Every structure is written in structure tokens, then in C-alpha cells.
Structure 1
Amino acid sequence: MEVLTRRAYRKKRKRKLKRLFQAFILCITITLGAIAAVVTYAYQLEPPSLSVPETTVLYSKNDEVIGEFHHGQNRHWIPIENMGDAIVDATLAIEDRRFHDHYGLDFYRIGGAVVANLRANSMAQGGSTITQQYARNLYLDHSKTWTRKLNEALYALRLELHYSKEDILEGYLNTIYYGHGAYGIEAAANVYFQKHAEDLTHAEAALLAGIPKGPNIYSPFVNEERAIERQQVVLSTMVESGFITSEERQEYANEPLEFSLNEDYNARKIAPAFQDVVRSFLTDELNISEEVIESGGLEVHTTLDPDMQKKAEDALFSQIGDEEELEAAFVAMDPRTGEVKAMIGGTNYTEGGFNRATMANRQPGSTIKPFLYYAALEHGMRPNSMLKSEYTSFLYEGAQEPYQPENFNDKYKDDYITMLQALAVSDNIFAVKTHFLLGFDTLEKTVRRFGIESPMNSAFPAVSLGSSEVGVMEIINAYSPFANGGYVVEPQFVTKVVDRDGDILYEADNEPIQELDPSLTAIMTNMMEGVFEPNLRVQGIANPTGSSVSGYFDRPIAGKSGTTENDSWMIGYTPQLLSGVWVGYDNPKRLEGMSGHTKEIWAKFMHDALEGEVKLPFPTTDNVIEVDINPETGMLATDDCPVSRPTLFYVGTQPTEYCTEHIEEEVEEQPKDPNKKSEEEKKEKWLDRFFDWIGGDPELPDNVVVVD
């Protein structure tokens, strides 16, 4: 046995302590070197990208949020200064109160978590800082492994080395998951409280700050009682962290919370058909990829007016019955600019996704007649031009059998009527005769100038009664030149697109094109105003087709209805608003008794949408003149005429003779001027010219017209 002297023992002990000290220094050196190496390595790496999928937001004309495009992650990135102090304080208190004192790793929390996990023989408790959680959200999965933890620590260090604390906290609060598809505090504030993050109260912020620990547990939509309990914990930690006082905690704890309705976060989108058209515009016209639309954080400013959209839906669904197969489409727009204000793609659009407003082609019926009569005005006819309304068979070259159009309810005046009356009561015979007078190709050429591109069967006279199919939006938009003084406009859905950096990707610059004669469009509009004037009724045929809804209006308004066996239409306008509605079946079948309902839909919408708006006159020109005529005779009205109607004419074409049919009897019995032809003779002369022009055979019955 070795015996050591006290001196030798002290020397040996001193050597051991020296070796221990050297080992400690070596360990410290190695550790510091390793840390320095890791820090140097992390610093030399490029700054990790902070880019995350961000929701594309759609805004209305009034900059209200109307919808979002995202791929399952509803996220709105906002700067930290727009979040409000309440959510920042609550989050720091419950998640990482030493956030401003560490460099991404909090060794106090890590040590405590390691001890707790060793005791539990699991990894149930985490010591992650906000920076680590942010790193995990950006770059890693949520598996509880040592490898993932090491990568998380490295990413956290990189974030701390390359970004400020404010950048990290801003990123965290914009990416953390709050449940129900809401990523980030702005989306969460909207989902749970229908407000912006900066408007959250302390009580609301405390509740939201408690959700990320377990969105499926602490969401008030899942378990409100548990969510409130968690809120109380957050408020207590805010007191401990010095963000609020005990008195304030008690005040916030007692504050009543008003949550959004449980189903609001999954509510039906506003104007889904309109939003789908916007999406198609972004991809097809602007060539923006679906990936960017879903996650690029775009701001899409649209033309939609949510108030008008609601009025359109109310008007339509109040008239559409319970029949499941019955469908409808509706479009409202500003005829001056083409901006679409409201759109309905179907009675249950969200189920099928077929937008009848933009995809369906249907027979327009009599809504095609204003284009026919515009062409007639161009070719010299006038509002008071007269043709005979009678049952007529038309024989024309190439036809195997006569074309025999009918009026509604098979009623005819069997006398002459003016073009003004013919449009008002929708006389089909007058329209077909006009079509023959103009030539079969004239109508097609005319509608092209109004913007209708759908093909037309010009070889068949039925085209003048709307037998060739057109798109719903196509024909509604084609009425714009009547309302705006002859300008053709393109339907517009998007006014501006801005990317997440604030750069403008697109800004609308639609210039209307003067395509039509403003004097003639003014005359046509004046004629279409007659559709709503009961005084233009034609004895023996019908009342003006819009007279049933004329009581809705006390302002200048014009339009035209249309009915086919399978379709019901109403299109009309004021100078600032144009709208149209179609009702029918996807698989065409006979439509019974819907004409009145269709007009009611349109009239109710126009009345409600224009309530409180300025009553604007329709545009006119110096080339037109207004004179009072008797619509029955087409001549200047006298005080003895039962009906007098102010009517526009191109200057120089207005009537100059006064109506003599209604003057007092003694005047009528005065000697007749032999040089003055009777009105009946003039009518007969006009009909003779018509027959001569189209090759009529005087030996055939009067109601048969032969065209070579």
C-alpha cells in the first residue's frame, strides 16, 4: 500500500484539479468553437425564405371583401403594426415571454422540458420558442423526433441571425394555425369575430392566443366552455408577464364575447358565379397561374356591387317557384362602362357550377327586335312608319313551305299599326315584314355592330323573332349602346389586380367605342320606353308588354321583353343601369306562365337598385326632335286625339300633317279637298309599294306574300 505524505497528497490532488480544469477549459473551448462554427455556418447560409402561401382576396367595387381564393389555407399577411398590441402581448405571454431575451433557443425552457420528458419517458412537453415554432411552420413537419428538433434549432438560429425580432414575430403571427382553415391572426379575427386583427379587444385577443396550442380543442366553435377556460389562462400569464394588471385581467375576463355564427366561417360566397368569372379572367386573360391565384396573396378589385347582388337575388328568388328543374340567369351592369354589378348563374349555382349567365345560349325571342328596328331606322323607316298587322303567309325562295308567324294569342289588328306600337305590343307580323323589307342579311350585320357574335340563321325569316340562340350576357350587354348613346362596351369584371408586394399587375382601361348612330339609338330608346306605356295598346292585339310593371317606375326607363316556347326574357335599362333576366329549363321544354314573373324579377330589381339614385334622362343629340304624335295614325296629335305621345324623330323626318281622325264631326263633314289623299289611301299606297318591292302577286289572297 502506497503511503503518501501530506505534501505528496496535495501535489497529486493539485494535478487532478489541474487536469479537471484543463478538461473543463477544453470542453468550453470545444463547445464555444462548435457554437461559433454552427453560428458561422448558419450565418454564411442564405437567409431562409419567409414566403408562405397567402390567400388571394377579392374586393367589391366599394372595397369590401367578397371572397377569397386559397388552397385550404386561409391566410392574410398583414404588417405587425396592423395587428394591435392586444394580440402581440397575449401571444408573447402564453407562448414565449422571454422572446426578446434569447437568440432563437431558450435554454431555460429547453432544460425544463428535457427534465419533464425524461421523467415521463416521452417527448410530451416542448420548449420551443416562437422562433422555433415559426421555423417549424415554414420549413418542417410536426413530428416529435430529435432530428426534427435539431433542424428546427438550426433554422431558428438562421432566422435570428438574418431577421429582426419584429420580422420573426410578424411572420409567426401571420402563419400560426388558429383552426377552421384560418392561418394567421387576420384570418382568425375574421373567422371568429368578423373583424380585423387591429380591432380585437384584449378579451378577444386572449381567446385567440390560446387556440394554437390545440385548435381542435380550444376553438369556441368546437367547445366554447373550454375556449373560455383557456382564455383565462392566457389572461393570467399576461398579468405575470406584466402586460396587464390584475384589475384589467378581471375586467377582460368578464367581458362578453360575441362570436360569428358557427357556420359563418364556411358561409356561401357572395356572387359565386361572378367570382368564377373573375377567376377565369385571371387565368385566361391575364395568364396568372392557378398556383399564384391560390397562394400568391393577390388583391383583386372587382366591379361587383354587393348591395345590388343581394337585391338581384331577393328579386329572383321571390318569383321563382319550388320547381327544381326551373332555372334562371341574371346580369346587371353599368351600360356606360360595361362594369358588371351583379350576376346570378342559376337558381342553385354552387351545386352544378354551370354559369347560365355566361355559358348558356338560348333563343332571345322578341328581345332581338330592337336591333331589327334600329336597322329599319338606318334604312329610312321611322317610328310612325306603318305596316298591316294581319295573319300572313310568307312564300320565299328556297322555302319548302310558307312561313306563317303568329302573334301572341293569335291576335291581329287587321289594320295598319306604327312601328312604335309594333315594338310596344311586340307584333310579330310587323317584325317579319320589316325583316323582308330590309333583306335577310341586314339583321345579322346589325347585331354584330352591337357586339353579338353568336352565329345567326339569316336564311330563315324566323331569325327576326329571335330563333337563333345567343348568350345571356351577350344580348344583355348588346343593349348598352341604346342606353349610352351608341357606344359598344365590353363586360368588365376586374378593375385592378395587385400582388403581395403592392405592385399593380393589371389595371382596367376599357375605352367605349362609338359604333352606332347616337341619334338613332336615342330614337330606339324612346321607342322602347313605350313598352311600359299603357296608352300604346293596340286594340284587338294586346297591351304594351311592359305595362304590367310600369307602376314600379317614376323615371325614364326603356326595355323589351321576349318569350319563346322555352324561354322567358326581360331586358331593360336607365342611363346608369342595365339588367336582364332569363328564365327557362336547361333541357329546353315548354315554359308555361313565367312571362309575368320574369318581368316582376326585373322590375323589382331595377326599382330597388335605383332607389335614391338620380333620375337621369337618356342621352340625345341635336339631330333629333321631339314631337307629339297620335300613335294610332303616326301623325301630329291634336287636342282632339285621345292619345298624344312625345316621340323622337331624326330632324327632317318628323310628321308635318296633323291627325284628322278625331276632330269634331262637323269639321269632318266639310267638303273634302280632292287634292288631299285620305289617310287610308296613303296606307294602301304604302302597302302597294311593299308588295311591289317584294314581288307580291295581286291575284293571290291579301294575306299571302310571295318573295322571289
Structure 2
Amino acid sequence: MEVRKVEAETRVSRKKWRTFRLITFISIFAFIIFAIIFTSFYIYMRVLGPPPLAIPQSTLYYTVDGEIFGESNSGQKRYWVPLDEISPSAIDAVIAIEDQNFYEHAGFDVKRIAGAVVANVQAMEKVQGASTITQQYARNLYLTMDKTWKRKISEAFYAMRLEINYDKDQILEGYLNTINFGHGAYGIEAASQYYYGKSAKDLTLAEAALLIGIPKGPGVYSPFYSAENAKNRQLLILNEMHDLNMITAEEKNIAAKEELTLVGKHPHHRAEIAPYFFDEVKKELIRTVGLDERVIALGGLKVYTTLNLKQQQIAEKIVEQTMDDSSDLQVGFTAMDPRTGYVTALVGGRDYDESPFNRATQASRQPGSTLKPLLYFAALERGFTPSTLMRSELTTFQYDNGNSKYIPHNFNERYANGDVTMAQALAVSDNVYAVKTHMFLGEEVLVDTVKRFGIQSPMQAVPSLALGTSGIKVVELANAYSMFANGGKKVEPVFISKVEDSKGNVIYEAEQQKQQEFSPEQAFIMSHMMTGMFDSKLNGYATVTGASMINQMSRTYAGKSGSTNSDSWMAGFTPGLTAVVWTGYDSGKEITLTADKLYAKNIWIRFMEQALEGEDEKLHTFRPPVGVEAVPIDPSNGKLATSFCPTFRLTYFEAGTEPTEMCTDHVFGF
């Protein structure tokens, strides 16, 4: 019996051992399988790399002084800011109320999940959530708010990818920049600007605690919907922060009693200033930078423009104050820095809401006599000087092999009926002199010269081209005159100086033009000739065209006015600022009232005077280059003035081309 008993015990013992070995083997095998799966999954997520964090962000537009003046978005305000530019109180508040173990867990808080399950089962409804900051961030980035198992699994998957590939501070930064604070504000910077009108880095403890309480339910906890709910949640967060030793009892009590000032307004909703300029910048982002409209609207770009806020405000104010409210006349205005080509101010019309058509960059209108400086510059290149004489009298020009005739007329039919100098002809805007010069040079010369000055609008090679009968754009003329102002250097209109992506990487930067297109000596001589329209010494058979502006001038300007039946222009510059004004009817209707014809001149001189007030005089003073000579000239004949001449004007010539003949017309007093 004992033997059988021992054998039975031995069999049982062996069976238990086999069972133990089997369980041990299965456990080890299961562990290995789990380890392989986990490792494979980990490696798979590593191979996938970090999940992209590209989310729609508002694109901001900056003036040359760094002020924001416009924004592009999809209706959601989003401004990404780094963690170190967020108030520490806001960071502590979100940890305290949303995920106290954020820096300890690996994306999931097991203890919190268990507690939430127990609480929800006991209440027979969902009364407590367990999503970590990482899970919420994953949901904000990639997923819908559908309450399905598929969404939950996807959320967990993305949360693990985030934890594996990003550090905790990166995740926290992303979360704070993506949560919904209501009223179209996404991310803490947009929310801080909306609720308090300040940056997230400047939030006080009280402001941060109230703000961080809103994302739980913006429709419930926004102070604009329920001040009571917002206050109660703020107190809850302050208590949690105190319990976690983030703040002292005194700090909690002070914050709880602090009176908060709410703003309730988004900044830079639309380009309230410079809307026409803003539109042109967006076109340049497509045309020049090469971006598509979605990237422009939602890419979180920082677009640094050339807009000078002071000049833009002056331009808009002067246009509004100068032009009669009852008039249908429109305006196109452009100001440029001739040294860089930067467009510093632009007005495309009197009311953007009524008409977004940009008359500074889109409208092509006849420039009239403002084209003459380009013609006379071509003459300077071909041997003319400011003293070159031609006869001013009613003249019939034949062209097209004698088959066609053209008879230009001077204003009010005033002619010298004798010889006049090029300097005086420009100052009084003699049309006969201009057409004679044009025909003498050959009609194609002006066409080619206009192109060299950056004007792309097509020109018709006819006698009347000398009087500006082919349409150009305001911005084109500003660019051309800038090449006189800068000493003959090539420039192009620039609206954008630099573009950064949402991470601060420079993706575009405007190149500075350094090409010397024209002779600096001839460019200066032309600029000095253009100061003649403001110099009464050049009055003669007609009055200089800038006579009405002389009393408003505090410095020397170079310029040229121009007019047609339906267009009124004034363009001019200093070495540091160019401005061009056009006024007229969109329909091309004739301008009949004398007062209406003066709008362009009045807008121009008032802008220049106010824009340059307080500016460095050195930047706006004409200085002759080496290679030119100044000599006193009798304006009536272009000869060297003597003490007998009733007046003289200091005139510049290329060295060696100045007149040598002395004036003898006034030796005997007549």
C-alpha cells in the first residue's frame, strides 16, 4: 500500500511539475511575444518618425517698423508662441487642472484612468475624464470629436507617437497653442489677445487661471457667456494650484480678488489701414514668393512688408481731407524709398469697401507730361544739355511717311515764338519742345527708354507719346522717378522684404538691386532740371507748373506734373522719398472743374511736407556727384549769365559740356 501511495504521490508531483513548466514556458513565451510586439510597435512608431505638427495658423503681416497691420486666416485665430513666451502661471494652471502627472506618465495616466472608471460606474454616467494633455493634444491635432472606439484607438496611437518622438515641453507647448478657448480663438496667444488684449507672456495669475478654465467648455465657462461659471472654475484652478504648492495661500487669495478687465476683441481682424497695400502683398506672395493661397491663409507665416505706417497714415488722411466728399473723382497714390524700391505707402482708391480696385497698381492711365523727364533724359544721353535751344511755336508735325499730321498745343496756347532752353521747356511744360525732341531722337528711342526705367506698360511709338498718351500705372511712374532720385540705380517696386514660416525659418528675402542702369551724372542733371518746376526764375512766356506749391515747400523737391482731359498727375521726389499721385474718374470722364485739377498737386505737396517732417535732412538733400559742374545760366537763352543779366539760375552740366558763350542780351539794359 505504501509503495502505491508513494507512486501516486510521485505521479501527482510530476504532473504538477509538468504543469508548472508548461505555465512557466507559456508565460515566458507570452512575455517574449509581448516584448516582440511592443518592441516592433515601438520600432514601427520610431520608423514612422515624429508626427507632423502642421496645424492651421494665422498669417501675420508686419510694417517696416514691426507692427502688425493685417492678418490672413480661415476664421480661426491662431498664433503659435514658444513655451518660454507663455506666462508660467498659465503653464502651472494647465498642469494643475488638466494633468497633474504630466511629467511622470508616458502619455497615459493609468491611476487616473482607473479612478475615472470607478467614478463613472458609481454615478452610472460620465462624471470624470481621464485624458492626459498628450491625448488631448493628439485629439486637437489629428482627430474628430466623435465618441467612437475607432477614434479612441487612433487617439491612443497618436498620443504614443507624440510621447516617443517629442519631449514633454514640446507637447505642452503644442497643447497650449491648439486648444479652443471659444470665440474663434485657438491657442493661448490668440485667447490672451481676445480676452485681455495682451500677449500670453504677460498674463497675471488671476488672468491665467480664468483663461485656462475656459477650454473645458467655452460655451459654458467663457466669461462673456457666464461670469459666474468662469469665476467658479477660476477658483477651482487656484485651489488646485495651491494644493500642489504651485502658489501660496496669499497669492491664491490675491488672485481670487483681482478685478479683471476683459476686452472681447480680436486684434488685426482686417487691414484697417492700408487695405489696398494689404491686397497687393497677398498677390506678391503668390506672384513673387511662389506660395499658394492656402499656405498664405493658414501657414502661420510672418510677412515683413515695406509699409511705413507713418507715411501710410499721412497719405490716407490727406486724401480724405483734400478731396471733396461729393465728388466721384478717384485717386491712386504710391510712395517709394528710391534707395531700395520699398513701397512705403499706397492708396488705391478713396473707399476700399466701395471699390477694392487698386488704382495705384491696376489702373493704366495716360501720364501726360509726367513722361517728359524720361524723354529729356534720353536727350541728355544723346548730347542735349539743359541749355539746348529749340523754337517754341505752333507747329505741325508730319509722320507715317507724310501721311499723317499731328499738331500739339501748349496750355492756354502760350508759345515763346522763339528759342527756349530744355530746362525752361521742362519747367513750364512746353509741349512743342517735347514733341520736337521726340521726333528728333526718333520715336522708338522714348519707347526703349521707358522700358529701361522699369515701365512695362506698352508704349505706342507715335509723336503724341512725348505728351504721355500711352497708359501707365502709378506704381510704374514711382519706380521710374526713383531711378532719377537714387542716381540712376536700377530698382523695382518691393512690397515684401522677408517671409518666415511658422517655425521662424526665412523662406524668402528680397534681393537688393545694385545695378547702375544710368549715368549718375545725367541722373543728377535731370533731377536738378526737375526742380525747375518750383523755381520762378524759369518763368517766361508761361509760368512754371509748380507755382501753386512753392509757398507750401520747406525744402527742395524735384518733380513734374501732368494732365490730360481725364487725368491729373503729380510726381516728384527727394533722394530719400518718391511719391506719385493720380486723380481722375474711373469712367475716363473729362475733368472740368479747376479745383478738381489741383487735387493731385495738393495731395502730393502735403504728403511730402508731412512725411519728411522731422526726418534726417541729409537723406533728402540733393548732392551733385563728381563729374558735374554748376554754372550760372541766364534762363531766357541758356548762356552764361553776367552781372548785367536780370536773373540767373545755377544749372548743372556734365563737366566739359557747360556753355562757354557769355550772355550779351542785357549789356545795354534791355
List gaps (5 residues or longer) in structure 2. 1-23
1:554 corresponds in structure 2 to 554
* Structure 1 residue corresponding to 2:107, chosen from 97, 104, 108: 104
Could you tell me which residue of structure 2 aligns to residue 358 of structure 1? 361
Q: Deviation per CA, 1:314-340: give whole Å up to 9, x if none.
A: 222222332585332222222122122
1:173 corresponding residue in structure 2: 176
- Contact persistence 2:305–2:497 (CA under 8 A): yes
Match in the other structure for 1:643: 647
SS in 2 for 1:313: helix
Alignment partner of 1:473 is 2:475 = yes
Counterpart-to-counterpart distance in 2, 1:34 and 1:115: 31
The offset of 1:415, in angstroms, is 4.2
- Matched residue SS, 1:625: strand
Q: SS in structure 2 opposite 1:470?
A: coil
8 Å CA contact 2:70, 2:268 repeated in 1: no
Residue 527 of structure 1, aligned match among 508, 526, 529: 529
Residues 1:347 and 2:347 aligned together: no
Counterparts in 2 of 1:589-668, with a 5 A limit?
589-592=589-592, 593-616=595-618, 617-662=621-666, 665=669
Q: Equivalents in 2 of 1:267, 1:288: separation in Å?
A: 21
C-alpha separation in 2, matches of 1:514 and 1:129: 63
- 1:41-440 map, 5 Å: 43-46=42-45, 49-53=51-55, 54-107=57-110, 109-110=112-113, 113-114=116-117, 123=126, 126-219=129-222, 227=230, 230-260=233-263, 262=265, 264=267, 266-268=269-271, 270-323=273-326, 325-349=328-352, 352-397=355-400, 402-440=405-443
Contact 2:71 2:270 in 1 (8 A): no
Contact 2:197 2:265 in 1 (8 A): no
Q: Does 1:497 align with 2:496?
A: no
Deviation for aligned residue 1:525: 0.5
Larger deviation, residues 587-596 vs 86-95: 587-596
Q: Residues 180-239 of structure 1: CA distance to partner in whole angstroms, max 9, x if unpaired?
A: 433222233334444332222223322321232233454456666765565444434433
Distance 1:360 1:536, change over 3 A: same
- Aligned-residue sequence identity (percent) comes to 48
Give the deviation of 1:527 after TM superposition: 0.8
Q: Distance in 2 between matches of 1:225 and 1:319?
A: 52
Amino acid at match of 2:395: T
Aligned residue pairs total 637
Aligned partner letter, 1:133: Q
- One-letter identity of the residue aligned with 2:631: V
**Which amino acid in 2 is paired with 1:141?**
T
Change in Cα spacing, 1:38 to 1:265, as seen in structure 2 (3 Å) is farther
CA distance in 2, matches of 1:310, 1:405: 40
With over 3 angstroms needed to count, the CA separation of the structure-2 counterparts of 1:594 and 1:123, relative to structure 1, is farther
Q: 1:556–1:615: 8 Å Cα contact kept in structure 2? A: no
Is the Cα–Cα contact under 8 Å of residues 518 and 620 in structure 1 kept in the other structure? Answer: no
Letter in 1 for 2:627: N
Question: Which stretch shows the higher mean deviation, 329-338 or 650-659?
Answer: 650-659
Deviation at 1:82, TM superposition (A): 2.3
Distance 1:394 1:338 in 2: 38
Q: Pick closer, same or farther for the CA change 1:145–1:604 going to 2, 3 Å.
A: same
Q: Pick closer, same or farther for the CA change 1:254–1:638 going to 2, 3 Å.
A: farther
TM-score (normalizing by structure 2): 0.85
Match of 1:3 in 2: none
Alignment partner of 2:97: what SS? helix
Amino acid in the other structure paired with 2:319: L
Structure 1 residue 478, shift from structure 2 partner: 1.0
RMSD over aligned Cα atoms: 3.3
Find the residue that maps to 1:490 and give its secondary structure.
coil
**Equivalent residue of 1:207, what SS?**
helix
Aligned to 1:7: none
Aligned to 1:538: 540
Q: Is the 8 A contact 1:123 1:144 kept in 2?
A: no
Runs (5+) with no aligned partner, structure 1: 1-24, 669-708
Distance 1:32 1:135, change over 3 A: farther
What is the deviation of 1:51?
1.1
Give TM-score, length-normalised by structure 1: 0.81
More divergent stretch after superposition (77-86 vs 255-264): 255-264
Q: Displacement of 1:487 after TM fit?
A: 1.4
Task: Please say if residues 78 and 185 of structure 2, whose CA atoms lie closer than 8 Å, have aligned partners that are also in contact.
Answer: yes
Q: Distance in 2 between matches of 1:521 and 1:265?
A: 42
CA shift for structure 1 position 528: 0.5
In structure 2, give the amino acid aligned to 1:482.
F
Q: For the Cα contact (< 8 Å) 2:338–2:576, is it kept in 1?
A: yes
Measured at CA, do residues 489 and 130 of structure 1 come closer, stay the same or move farther in structure 2, by a change above 3 Å? same
In the TM superposition, residue 449 of structure 1 has moved relative to its aligned partner by 2.0
